[in-house]
Chains A and B, each alone.
Chain A
Amino acid sequence: MPENGGYMIAAYVVVGAILIGYSLSLYLRARRSLRA
């Protein structure tokens, strides 16, 4: 079996970072919008 677990970990980290980053972006935009 090929040893390529590093690629899998990289992909899982990147996907998690994109989804959490976008969630945070929406949260911050909503907070800014409520303050305005």
Chain B
Amino acid sequence: MNIRTFRIGGIHPEENKLSNDAVTQVAALPKQAIFPLSQHIGAPAKPVVAKGDKVKVGTLIAEAGGFVSAPIFSSVSGTVFKIDTAIDATGYRKPVIIINVEGDEWEESIDRSDKLETVKAHPELTPEEIVNRIKAAGVVGMGGACFPTFIKLCPPPTAKAECVIINAVECEPYITADFRLMMEHADEILVGLELLMKGAKVTKGYIGIETNKMPAIELLTRKCAEAFSASEYSVEVVPLKQRYPQGGEKQLVDAVIRRQVPAPPAIPVNVGAIVQNVGTAYAVYEAVMKNKPLFERYTTVTGKRLQKPSNFLVRMGTPMKDLIDACGGMPEGDNKLLAGGPMMGKALTSVEVPICKGTNSVTIISGEEAVRKEPNPCIRCAKCVSACPMGLEPYLLAKLAAVKNWERAEQEDVVSCIECGSCQFTCPAHRPLLDNIRQAKTTVMGIIRARAAAAQKK
């Protein structure tokens, strides 16, 4: 087997895939579901329901608030309790719709059968129709970034898509939701991939999987051979060497098709690739074939001290607390609660935060592991430089950020940083490199935007 990986940098953190063998459970319905209006990149959605309205599972509750935006659907049936604010995954109070759950009544338009629909059986699905259905169902990137999927399928006229790459890398430690999804819904994922390829008008597809998920590689290779042997599409399962951050779009494109995406504003489609998460492929299948909008997802709830690390099929809007309780409750003592994995996850201060479109895991780091070590002076060992998958110099960028030299930081390409945290992970002096670099990146991006706006005015 030819095992590939990306060419620059990368690290290999302890995997800790504790819930690899935990078969996905269907999470219990919450008593109250909370839907943040900003669950995606772009403009927040606009509510279309009011207090007291009755909703069913799959009812539209908020419409897209702009071009880069996505509608939000209720995952429960019940009554709209209020439109208020609540703490979401950003850690701040943001506008939300709160629904009191009553029963479990679904919209009749949703096909709830298990029957596998194939693309061949539905010739009415033109590429435009597929993209429209994905857009209408509110599908966004399920890997965590939550970029609206339909936009990725309509590349700018300057770029031409050549292939769709399914991101099934799951390089982040602890998380196993994608692995379980592949093991349990391989057929649906392949139909989803076919829909994505048809929607993007390409015939070549890849599925990138790291070799710590051998059962998934074997299963999907077999299923691919069955499904695509006599079709115009060719799909290849690409086994990848375990290396973080292989799940980053640009790293994955490099690993799978050996092309490097230039610095921003270039995106993978500039080198011909459309990257979609495996969870997105499944969501696309359900949206297009089953008319089921995006309102539930696969999520891992994990942690070393957690009694029973598990994988859940969970309705969005369920508070994290419900899932943690289903895993045996919060471990005693001090804990760090993360939305996402230990590398890129976001620390939260409340267990009432709801599961959103992008919450691929809830990770609980306990006790001493959660506390950062005291930073020591930088000795210019350049371990961070070797680890950076974007070829940047993190020690320098961190220093530039600390002295607020934004011009130089811009020259040093700080906006290329993907915030993967490899530099900070590898630093023997425990320096808060990423904290500093993130500051510089945000500031420099602001400066660039302001400059563009000023240029437009002229």
Q: Do A and B assemble together?
A: no
**A residues neighboring B (CB under 8 Å):** none
**B residues neighboring A (CB under 8 Å):** none
